[in-house]
Each structure stands twice: as C-alpha cells, then as structure tokens.
Structure 1
C-alpha cells in the first residue's frame, strides 16, 4: 500500500483557532461542545453528515456534498439532544435523539431515546418504531433498509401448530419513506436470535432454552442444523423480592459472521471465567477456535463490522491505550499506516462508502484533542475535515502517561497521569480524579476535564481502582462491598505512590470527582482527611442509605438489585454502610469542601449534596455549595453554560485553596 499523503481540505470552514497559542485555552474553549461529531459518509461516497452547533439548542445535523456543490442543515429542535446520525440509504439518514419526558404509569421523568428517519435534504422525517432494530443498510435496494421486528404468532385453536401465542423475530425491508411500509422477508422460530451472512440472509441462529445454549446453522444446507450446544451455569443474586440472573458458559451468544459465512465471532471469558477474549466458531468443522485475540489486562469484546456485508472484520478494545486488530487485510493494512502516522493518538476507521473509495478517519488523544479526516483511496490522500475542538490547539495538549502501581494488598493497578506543560514533573500541585460509575473506567482519548486542570498547572491522576469496568469479571467483583474500603484505598494508594516517586507534592494535593467520584471525594475528606488540602465533590453520594431509598422509588426500583450487589446488602448490613457514608463522619473533615450539583440530576438527586451541606453547617465545617441550575448528571447532556459554571468553580476554588504556584 502506498504511503498516505496528508493534505488540507477546503470543504469546511471549521478549523479556525487551530494554531498554537501562547496562553492556555480559556474556560469557554474547554467548555465548548464538539465542533464535529458522529461523522458518516453516504453509501455512494458523495455526501457526509455530522452533528455540530455551539450550544445544545443550536445542535443540528449538517449534510454537505464532498465535491463542494452544496450543503444543508437539519434542525433538531430546542427540546432534544442529537446523539448520533448515520445513513440508511443514499438520501436518508437515521438520527437518534434524546429528550426528557414522563414515562410509565409512575409518571417519572427519564431520558428517552428516539430514532427518526430523515430525508437528507431535511424536507421530511418520521419516527422509527421503538420495537425496530436496524439490521443493516441494503446496498442492493436504496429504497429500503433492513430491520428486525417482533412478530406475534397466534396459534390458539390449532393443536397441530401448538395452540399458543409466541413472539418471534422477523426481518423486514423497511421503506425509507414512511414507517408502516414494511416488506416481510423472513420470520424466525420462537426464542432465536439470527445472524445474517454477506448476502443479508439468515444463516446462523442461537438461543438459550432453559439452561441449554444452542447454535444452529444453514452454512452447508438449506435446512437448520444444530451445530453446537452446551449446558450453562446459572448465577442468581437475590435482594428482597427481586433477583438478577446471569448465565455463564463458553458461548452465550454470537456477534456476527465473517464475509464467507464460515466463521461466527463471539466474546467469551473462556474456562477461566475472567477477562473477555475474542473467539470464533468454525461452522465447517463445528469447533471453537481461540482465543484469537486476547489481552492480559482488559476485556476484548467490541467487534468491528463492515456494513457492506454485515460481516465481522475486526475487534477493538482498551487496555491502557486503545487497541485495534482487523481480520480483514485491507483494513489492517490501512490501520497500520494510520497508527504510524499518528503514533501518540487513538485512530479509528469510522465509516466508508460502498466501494471503499472514501474513508472517514477519527483521531483523538495523544497529540490532538480530536480531528476528523477524509481518506481518498484512489489518490491515497488524507485530508483534514475539521478539528473537533478548534480552540484547543494541539500545542495545548498536556501529555498523558500510564502509571502502574500496587494497592496496599498487592493488587496491580494503573491510571492516567496528565502533566502540565512546561513544568518539571517534580513536587507538582496535584488533583486526583476518580471516575464515576463506579463500574466504569477512564480512557486515553481526549478528556476535557483532565486537560483543563493540567492547563491550570496541576498534575492530574485518574486511578482505575478495583471495581472499574473493562478489566475482567474478577476485577469488577473485587469492588463489590468495598465502597469506602478497598476501592477508596486504591485512590489513596495512588496519592502515596506518586508522592513517593517525587512527582507530586503531598502537601498540595486535592481530590475532585463526579457521581461515584464525588462520593470518593467526600470519602477522602472524611475517611482519610490527612491526605487532602481541598475537596471538590461533584454530584456526590453523601448518604448511601438515603441514596438507596431514592433508587428504590425511581422507575419501579429496577436498579436496587445492582446496588445491593455492588454496595452490599444495605438492609442487613446497615451499620457497615453507615460506616462508609461521608455524612456520618463530618466531624473528621479538615479540608475546605466544594459541593457542585445540577438541580436536574435524575441519577444522583441534588438532595444528596444538600444533606451534606446541612451536616457541614451544623458541624461548623468550611464548605461552599455551587448549584448548577437545570444541570443534568451526565456530561453528554450538559449545556455549554453548565460546563462553564463547572470549570469556573473548579478554577476559582483550586486557586484559592491549592494555588499551582
């Protein structure tokens, strides 16, 4: 393959501000929404669609012709957030929106996602059924795309047919013009999930029947044949009247087929039952092969698909940094070239046209806050489409290092250390930034929160403490029942390690977190008060038992089993939970605390911050409370104004209580 030629593309005027600046970017620069996101190319390779806009109210879908002959804007309306956009034909898009509304008989507000099929010129749209799952574009039919829909079969009155009612999965050709114009292509058998081959025909199916997993195939015949089965192990977790059930085994599902239909790919923890790895099933030999891709650190489970054939072509996962392996040699060759071209960043091949003549590339992290490129494979020219955050230049990107350390009990841990530009990595003022979730994790791509703090002169560390997601089942379970205990120790041990290395000044250390990270900040202030000079708790859980009461009354209480498994049985072990609730240890606080909470937080209610504020007032402890009016919990729903308020409060509080100089 010829070397890629990097050039500048004059299609979009979205690159202002990309030159290096002497001063650090402003709060407004870090608070800005993505200039360009969810970029996709039409099947014929002639048009590109993406999301842009300076505020949530101004977010729109932009469609432009690559040859420069024209463009148009599709407005989403002020009351909803555009989440994603893609093509279902050469002239029609599917746009996913999120808005808040009252749901169910309990009439509680929640974020609801809707998908609209939109004419690319913006002239018309209609809402896709909530029961429809898009199977694939149909390259042979530009007027239809493929959807899976439940089909109810009523056989009552017919003993020969079973005398029952069942819900089966049906494949339909959905018209791009209106919702109810659907052509039935195939209806499956009860309880099966189906996989399409390169000709978009069902060629494999699987189901769990009681505790038995079954895989069936039509690889070598027109009839269905059982090609694999295994007995699954059932794991129950019960809490009061609710329970969660998990089935474990070598194979419990399948992600898709390769282009030949011979191999089916799936993720499995294997016999060890810990980290997920990529496996494949050979429908010819009827044998499992693998693991074909695995990691000693992280789960490997995100399969990559070629929309043209609906086939699996590779796998992507995150260790310390993002990793990509393609099974297809064309894609792997291109990925290798791109990795060499952007050696410090994560590089994703995100979309391509039917002929794979034009390819969209996304680069983030390392030396850039994010940029989209268009590759023309006929000329091998890679041209810049737009920078994602044009007012945060590459020169302002603080370097992010991977730091491995051990917990006090010997558990191997790591995290992301972001160092301020132009300062020696010695005795630095420090902010430790534990993530939310807690069953979540941080990544190596662009993170505006850590970059903002580093731009103000602070070293920032994001520990991947036990209980974090993506590092195997055992690592997640190590966090169960460990709020304020081993999970918190992992945060504290990171501070001690970086201090011992001489990187940070332990006397100039603060902690900031959001959601569970906000809890960890308050737990740091109350359970290890000697560690922190100041504490910033965003959307924090301060009273775990009160939080559980809220969760039990929220949307029917469906989350209480999850929390009982993660936190522990907070009904039977009430004393243990209270022992790690920050609100019960306010007297131990030494550092000034800032509480930040959005008033429209549906995940952790603002009352959690209010309770902590009341307790601190009663104890005469220094604090301030920043209410972000109408602020949500999730960062993706935050407005620019929400983010400006957050960053402004962070900067002011840190300068007052832990100045970087």
Structure 2
C-alpha cells in the first residue's frame, strides 16, 4: 500500500514504527481532539478538505492540494464548535458549526447547528439561511446549490386554492456569493414533502393529513397523480393535558429515489418492531420488500450519490457495521475494502464527480480512525493519516462482542475492551453504560473505553434494553423500567463477566455519563454489593427535580417522552422515590465520585449538587468534581474539560480499584 507522497508532515502524520511494548499514551494524548475529521474530496478530485487541530483554539479547515498547490489553512474559530465541512463546489465549502444560542430571545439556551458558506481561499464566509436545507449539489450548474426553504403561498383570489395564505415549501437555486443570492425554481403545495429526480426536478411528493398518508407522482411530467394512499394507525400517549401521537403504517415517509426514478426507498417497521428497507415501484405502483432487513437491528441509514441525490445503498449497525449497496460498482469496492480490513468498520466517505478518486474511512480493529485515498485509475490506495496520531496502532486496545443473558432470559450483548497485550482473565473491570438512554454504543474506537483500557482496566459497554437501534419492542420493554430491568441488565453483565473469568469479583467499578451517570448512582444505591467504586458523570440523581426542570424548559416539550419512558412521577411517587438515588443516599456503600459540567443544559448541574447534599446528610463520603463551564455532550467538550475528566477518572480509579502494578 503506497503512502501518498508530498503531504505536509504537520497536516498528514505517518504512523510510527511498531514497538514491542509501546508506551502508554498520556492523558493529554487521549484528551486531544481528532487531528483529522470530516474528510472530503472536491468534485474535480484536485483537493481534499478536512478539520484539523487538537484543541478548540487550533481548530482549522485545512485544504490540501493533490496537484501540487500549497495547502491552505482557514481558522475555524474558537468561540464555536466546528462540527463538519464539505464541498459546495470546487471553490466553496459548507462548514457546519454547533452554537449555543438563546432561542427566540426567551432566555432558553440550546445547542443548534448552523451552516456557513466559506470560500476555499478563506477570503469570506456567510451564514446560510437558518431554515434552508440542502436539496442537492447540481453538477450541471456547479456555481449554485439547490435548497429547500419554507415559503408562504398566497391563495387569495385563487379559484382552486381557497381564500387563504398557506405555509408551503420552495425550491431555490442558491448562489455562493451571499445569502440573498438565490432564485426560485419551484413552489410546492402546502403540506407536501417533495423528492427530486436525477435532473433535480420535483417528481414525487407525499403528505399525511388526519391519519391518511398519500403518495403522488409526476414522473412522466403529465401532472400529479395519487399513486398510493393508506390510513395510518394512531398511537396516542397522554400525560395530563399533554399528548403525543405517533403514526403506524406500511409507509409513513419516503427517503428518496434511485437514479432511474423507478423506485422510491423508505423504511417501515416489520410487525411494528424492527425497521427494514422497502421500496415503492412507480411502474407498478406497488410496495416491494423488505429488500434489506436484520434479525437484530433497525436498518435504514440511506447512502446517497451526491451527484444525483439518488439512494444507492444503506448502512446500519448490528454488533458490527453493515453496508449494502444497490449499485454494483459501489458494492464491489465495498466488498474488496471489507476483505482488506476484516476487523474494522470501513466506509466510502467521499468521492469526486468522475468517481475516480475515493476517500476511505476505517475505524476499529487495530486503528483509531484512519483515512485513505483510493485512486481507481491506478488501483493504489494511499494512507492519508490517522485521526488520533498521538495514539499509535500498537497501543489500541482490542474490542470484542460479548453475549450474555439477562435474568429474565432476554439475549443481550455488549462491547468488551481489554488492556493491550493482556489476556482477558481476572481483570479489574469498569462497567460503562451509555447515555440516552435511547442511544447505543457501536463497535470501533471509543476514546473513553480506550483510555481506561490503556490504564489496565477491562471495560464493558452493555447494550441494555431501551438502547436505540434494535427495534421498537426493545425500546418499549424499557418503559417504566428505570432502576428495574434496565438496571438488572447492567448487573447481569457484571455477573456474566465474573462467572466467565474475565473480571475479578472484588475489582468492579461502575462509571457512566448522563443516563449512564444515573445508572452508576442506581448501581450504588440499588446493588451496592456489586461495586468497589462508582463514578457518576452528569447524572440524574433526583427524578422529581429533573422532571420539574424538564417541565419548565421549552414549555415542557419533552415531558410526554419522559413520562412514557420513566412513568408518571406525579402519581407513582413510591416507585420514583425508590429509583431516585439522592433519596436513597444512605444505601451507598462504595466510594463515590460525582463529576459534572457547570454549563450542562441537558442535565443541570443542580442534579450533582442534590446528590452531594444527600450524601452529606447521610454521613456518606463522596467527591464532587465541578468541571467549570463544562457542557453535557462530549463533542462540545474542550481539551481542558476532557483532561479534567480523565485526570479525575484515573486518580479515583487508581485509589479505589487499582489495576495490576505493571499497567500503572
């Protein structure tokens, strides 16, 4: 495999020579941000853009030339979080930032994503309309992009539209000079979502009104014809005066078309459980499928060809990542790549207009995150860089999938990360339940698990009931189960790892963040005999107080979700009291550290203070570590935030659950 020649060493870093016993990477090595991410190749195949910089202050947009021009570096700004960058055309970029803003000047701060158009020479940038969504990059007119924008449709005086002004959607051709440099291409009827064909014409639309889903086609340009309709089933959840509805049916949306326009792809739940991929045949007006489904997980993260906006494949996660392309050329390349990197998740992440130069992303196995450039003309694949160059491949801890059964017989699995070079036997263990709780972990390089494994700990990430991506039934079986079967799933994983000899019985600690932080406190109060120490990050400690916070935030927009997931905290007071760790602090037996960011908008810092006050009132020892100005989400954390987290994790674990001496 040839290394791409001429890359600047400060931007593209080579993997160093292997060491028999590599040094353990430092806290700073793990705290550093990825020095290469969001890697994309320009439409003409001449330049690569990516985000670089190991700290917020160093974050930059880097453009590297493949034709010999000097690289360019654009300051990414240190007062916002630079989340992604891609090419709008050969001379302009789309940079996505996460910003903390006061929404509607109501004093309600929230994290929002905003898109900016940035000249590739760094000469200027401007913010794209906040309501604009990218429809497609039109290669027939590379100086513009197509965007959707909400519009008001004036029907007053119309004989067919009624005497009203309706909200509708408009397709605009957006120039890259300034925000208002756009012209209208198409105005749709109110209430419809439109799909474009390969020629960027709106040829399919859908909507549902009062429980009826309708699909319309204008593929032959003869006028709109309704080709499918269905009465959906409403599932209604009530919580006092609040209500949330969900709709169930064979088709409730459509994601996009294939390159010919014959098929429209969508996802639907099979037996109202796991999502699978279906398609609608516009020649026969019939639903076909499922054409891709899994016995374990939801399927439905569609892959698009940016040149035509056509759906060409689907990606999903079971225990490992799976990719299935509908296009034979892409499928052939994907198959070869998976054969070349059998232990990793490998993806085609970017390609040029001629599909001759392709960026390949590789994660997991014996790499943190690596990028390659495939030249399809020569057949060579050149290594660009690893995202975390401070962590050599030899220092990466192995990850394996471990299956276990819950006490009620439910089959579960999780990811076991073990110290490099160590047999998975009689190890000190850190249980690491994920946040959410409607989220999941994935196979690959997890910085938190890798950091702990490098310190000599086995780390287990259980995919307990309620985790996202394994079907609707897997979610609903966790409703009302905080502190019950959800917590049992974590405890049962501990028992399994001890019984199989992976973990030493008296060397188990529990660490989690967000819901994982709640699970840590629940473990400390409900099953204190299991854990030698507990670390609760950004935890919910008092469900009553947390729900009061949610009720007052954004008009209580998320209250029905939490009522469905947790239960009715107004009437089920005995249950909520029992599962609220701060109300049971006297049951804590293990050393406890609470660590929380003071600028957390998701779980307020007050939750950490409530637990600390309860521990003090119960006469129990504890530590409270306040990360000043720390956020909730890891992607928003600064290097200083992560360094403080890792420093305290290492210190607390070494004191209360020391690893084997050789690994310290």
Post-superposition Cα deviations, 1:414-466, rounded to whole Å, max 9, x if no partner, equal: 10011112222221111110000000000012101001111111111000000
Partner of 1:500: 499
Query: Do the aligned residues in 1 keep the contact of 2:512 with 2:518 (CA within 8 Å)?
Result: yes
Partner of 2:45: 45
Return the alpha-carbon distance in structure 1 between the equivalents of residues 356 and 182 of structure 2: 31
Partner of 1:555: 554
SS of 1:344's equivalent?
coil
| Correspondence 1:7 to 2:3 | yes
Tell me, which stretches of 5 or more residues in structure 2 are unaligned? Answer: none
Return the alpha-carbon distance in structure 2 between the equivalents of residues 544 and 20 of structure 1: 50
SS of 1:57's equivalent?
helix
Post-superposition Cα deviations, 1:610-632, rounded to whole Å, max 9, x if no partner, equal: 11111111222121111111111
Query: Do the aligned residues in 2 keep the contact of 1:11 with 1:68 (CA within 8 Å)?
Result: no
Partner of 1:579: 578
Q: CA deviation at 1:323?
A: 0.4
Return the alpha-carbon distance in structure 2 between the equivalents of residues 116 and 122 of structure 1: 12
Return the alpha-carbon distance in structure 1 between the equivalents of residues 631 and 190 of structure 2: 41
Post-superposition Cα deviations, 1:136-191, rounded to whole Å, max 9, x if no partner, equal: 10101121110011121122344543111111211111111111121211111221
Return the alpha-carbon distance in structure 1 between the equivalents of residues 643 and 338 of structure 2: 34
Q: CA deviation at 1:64?
A: 2.0
Q: CA deviation at 1:58?
A: 2.1
Partner of 1:89: 89
Flag the 1:361–1:12 CA change in 2: closer, same or farther, 3 A.
farther
Q: CA deviation at 1:134?
A: 0.5
| Correspondence 1:234 to 2:234 | yes
- TM-score between both structures, scaled by the size of structure 2: 0.97
Partner of 1:112: 112
Partner of 1:156: 156
Q: CA deviation at 1:284?
A: 0.5
How big is the alpha-carbon RMSD for the aligned residues of Structure 1 and Structure 2? Answer: 1.3
Query: Do the aligned residues in 2 keep the contact of 1:17 with 1:391 (CA within 8 Å)?
Result: no
Flag the 1:17–1:352 CA change in 2: closer, same or farther, 3 A.
closer
Partner of 1:636: 635
Query: Do the aligned residues in 2 keep the contact of 1:18 with 1:390 (CA within 8 Å)?
Result: no
Tell me, which stretches of 5 or more residues in structure 1 are unaligned? Answer: none
Partner of 2:201: 201
Partner of 1:414: 413
Query: Do the aligned residues in 1 keep the contact of 2:3 with 2:384 (CA within 8 Å)?
Result: no
| Correspondence 1:76 to 2:50 | no
Query: Do the aligned residues in 1 keep the contact of 2:15 with 2:386 (CA within 8 Å)?
Result: no
Return the alpha-carbon distance in structure 1 between the equivalents of residues 387 and 160 of structure 2: 61
Mean Cα deviation higher: 305-314 or 565-574: 565-574
Return the alpha-carbon distance in structure 1 between the equivalents of residues 285 and 132 of structure 2: 32
Return the alpha-carbon distance in structure 2 between the equivalents of residues 222 and 430 of structure 1: 66
SS of 2:56's equivalent?
coil
Q: CA deviation at 1:392?
A: 0.7
Q: CA deviation at 1:112?
A: 2.5
Q: CA deviation at 1:16?
A: 5.2
Partner of 1:304: 303
| Correspondence 1:35 to 2:35 | yes
SS of 1:369's equivalent?
coil
Partner of 2:165: 165
Partner of 2:286: 287
| Correspondence 1:510 to 2:509 | yes
Partner of 1:605: 604
Query: Do the aligned residues in 1 keep the contact of 2:399 with 2:444 (CA within 8 Å)?
Result: no
Mean Cα deviation higher: 552-561 or 141-150: 552-561
Mean Cα deviation higher: 568-577 or 337-346: 568-577
Q: CA deviation at 1:218?
A: 2.0
Query: Do the aligned residues in 1 keep the contact of 2:627 with 2:644 (CA within 8 Å)?
Result: yes
Return the alpha-carbon distance in structure 2 between the equivalents of residues 246 and 277 of structure 1: 18
Return the alpha-carbon distance in structure 1 between the equivalents of residues 526 and 192 of structure 2: 51
| Correspondence 1:482 to 2:478 | no
SS of 2:274's equivalent?
coil
Q: CA deviation at 1:559?
A: 1.3
- TM-score between both structures, scaled by the size of structure 1: 0.97
Post-superposition Cα deviations, 1:556-609, rounded to whole Å, max 9, x if no partner, equal: 221111111111111121221111000111111110001111111111111111
Query: Do the aligned residues in 2 keep the contact of 1:467 with 1:487 (CA within 8 Å)?
Result: yes
Q: CA deviation at 1:383?
A: 0.7
